[in-house]
């Protein structure tokens, strides 16, 4: 999907920018709702067992429900209010940004994601905020997470444990067993990175998002997550 300014769209369709704006206000939210329908889904133990990739089983990770991951999308810096300027600053991308957390299954199905929030909110805080919607994650199934999600199990209604790479905890180096275990976790988590690359197929979410797109940020995010599921499965 391309991102054109209203003036360009007006020239393309022979309409004034105000008229194009009216069409967008009507139709973009509908695309957003369709995106939610395609990416906010229920998951069951039966589905997770049937879709679990073989490399998870061979690694002894037969009870992984999801791979939570966060992404910051750079935005035009809101300078009209210093509170908004500070609230949007991201330490990840060193720029004003909005942040999203997404949950994908080991097979690559996107089944839950947050709305977009100013990037100063932490990933853990977003998991806490979204906790009630994570009741869909079956009890006894774990999350394959990065270190930023450590300690978030109690935000899940079914207390889903977080399997993360090890922490040094004051030590000088990791043991060989820890390095080997962490390698397996990082190797299997590549699908959530690929999933976000599909989200950014929505051109409006690429580069620095202009101010004119702020009103439709969530709609773009929903449809971007729909791209994860519309395209070919990430794993068999």
Within-domain flag for 235: no
C-beta contacts of 74-79 below 8 A and 24+ residues apart? 74/207, 74/208, 74/209, 75/208, 75/209, 75/214, 76/208, 76/209, 76/210, 76/211, 78/211
Within-domain flag for 1: no
Within-domain flag for 236: no
The predicted-structure confidence for 163-173, as pLDDT tens digits, reads as follows: 987 544 554 44
Q: Give the residue numbers spanning the domain of 114.
A: 6-230
Mean pLDDT of the chain: 88
Q: What is the dihedral of CA 17, 19, 25, 27, to 10 degrees?
A: -110
Whole-structure pTM value: 0.87
For β-strands 162-163 and 142-144, DSSP reports them as parallel
Domain count within the chain: 1
Give the per-residue pLDDT at 219: 96
Phi, psi of 167 (to 5 degrees): -105, 150
**Mean per-residue pLDDT, 124-152:** 96
């Amino acid at each position: 999907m391309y991102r054109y300014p209203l003036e360009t769209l007006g020239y393309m369709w022979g309409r004034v920018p105000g008229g194009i704006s009216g069409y967008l206000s009507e139709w973009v939210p509908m695309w957003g709702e369709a995106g939610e329908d395609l990416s906010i889904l229920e998951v069951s133990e039966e589905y997770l067992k049937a879709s679990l990739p073989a490399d998870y089983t061979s690694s002894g990770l037969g009870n992984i429900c999801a791979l939570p991951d966060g992404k910051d999308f750079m935005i035009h810096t809101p300078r009209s209010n210093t509170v908004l300027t500070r609230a949007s600053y991201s330490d990840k991308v060193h720029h004003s940004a909005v942040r999203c957390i997404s949950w994908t299954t080991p097979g690559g199905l996107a089944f839950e994601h947050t709305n977009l929030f100013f990037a100063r909110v932490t990933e853990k805080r977003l998991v806490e905020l979204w906790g009630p919607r994570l009741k869909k994650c079956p009890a006894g199934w774990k999350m394959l997470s990065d270190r930023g999600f450590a300690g978030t199990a109690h935000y899940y209604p079914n207390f889903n444990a977080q399997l993360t790479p090890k922490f040094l905890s004051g030590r000088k180096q990791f043991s060989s067993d820890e390095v080997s275990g962490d390698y397996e976790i990082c190797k299997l988590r590549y699908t959530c990175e690929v999933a976000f690359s599909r989200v950014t197929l929505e051109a409006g979410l690429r580069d620095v998002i202009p101010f004119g797109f702020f009103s439709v940020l969530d709609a773009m995010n929903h449809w971007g997550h729909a791209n994860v599921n519309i395209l070919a499965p990430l794993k068999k």
